[in-house]
């Protein structure tokens, strides 16, 4: 019985950790942030990610995350992604 109980107890402690800490693009943030939204080639509007406000640097050339968004748009015909914000929690 001990051989079965110990692995079950260890699995119960280990498995919920990664599942509970998984973040999504819509998770609650406590600092200023931007949301990155995209229009797909099919015309669907999807939220790609949420990034810290410090990652968006419009005045910097090349930029931070905004430069990466421009590069993504250039390399993915039909996709149109843009940041919205900043939002405050």
Predicted confidence (pLDDT) per residue in 59-69, tens digit: 777 678 888 89
Tokens of 75: 């390399």
Beta-strand runs (E) in the chain: 33-39, 45-52, 80-87
Predicted confidence (pLDDT) per residue in 29-48, tens digit: 578 999 999 999 999 999 99
Q: Is the pTM of this model over 0.75?
A: no
Q: Which residues pair with 28 in a beta bridge?
A: none
Report the share of the chain in percent with pLDDT over 90.
38
Taking 70 as the threshold, does the pLDDT of residue 13 lie above it? Answer: no
């Amino acid at each position: 019985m001990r051989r079965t109980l110990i692995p079950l107890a260890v699995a119960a402690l280990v498995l919920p950790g990664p599942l509970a800490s998984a973040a999504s693009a819509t998770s609650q943030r406590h600092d200023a942030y931007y949301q990155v939204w995209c229009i797909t080639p099919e015309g669907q509007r999807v939220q790609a990610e949420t990034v810290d406000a410090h990652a968006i640097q419009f005045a910097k050339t090349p930029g931070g995350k905004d430069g990466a968004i421009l590069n993504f748009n250039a390399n993915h015909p039909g996709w149109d992604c843009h940041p919205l914000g900043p939002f405050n929690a």
